[in-house]
Structure 1
Amino acid sequence: MSRIKPARLRQLVFGFYMSGMMSLLMSGVITFINTGMDSAFLYRWIPAFLVAWAVAFPLVTFIAPVAVKLTEMTLGSRLKDSNVP
């Protein structure tokens, strides 16, 4: 039996996918803006993506709960008062 709580596992898997997708897209856009598109683009983009993902995954894992709390603080009373499920 796993000792990781389902909510924590969900948070880690979400962080893995979200950080991967955002790192892929952002590193691609920034690499394109900085160096343009040529035959070596992928050779520059892949290392940039790997570095970005290595930084983004732990950050997303630790920052996501803070973002959730800030969202609840910002919209909490509005969400409780609305009829939106």
Structure 2
Amino acid sequence: MASPLFRKLPARYAGLIMPLVLSVLMTFVVSAIATLRSLGPSPAFVAMWPTAWALSWVVAFPTLLLVLPLVRRIVGLVVEPPGR
């Protein structure tokens, strides 16, 4: 049951929300690792990481939207469909 403060989006938005969440989480982790490796655990890391994350997300989200259909086709070629 949905909370009165939080309503779920209609199912038709799943194709946009999935790459949105995936891109946020993946760029968060990858940009943290790359920035930490580059700058080390320092105040510079804390200052630079949000910018690095934002830039990587701006690239990753539209890229995911573009390549997701191709990825689905490739997965369909290598994975058995359900029920076989």
Percent identity of paired positions between Structure 1 and Structure 2: 22
The structure carrying a bigger helix percent of its residues is 1
2:70 maps to 1:69: no
Who is 1:43 aligned against?
47
**TM-fit CA distance, 1:39:** 1.7
Q: For residues 41 and 81 of structure 1, do their structure 2 counterparts lie closer, same or farther at Cα, with a shift above 3 Å needed?
A: closer
Q: Which runs of 4+ in 1 moved over 6 A?
A: none
Matching residue's letter, 1:60: L
1:1-85 correspondence to structure 2 within 5 Å: 6=12, 9-75=13-79, 79-80=80-81
Normalised by the length of structure 1, the TM-score is 0.78
Normalised by the length of structure 2, the TM-score is 0.79
Structure 1: unaligned runs, 5 residues or longer: none
Number of matched residues?
Answer: 74
* Aligned alpha-carbon RMSD (Å): 1.9
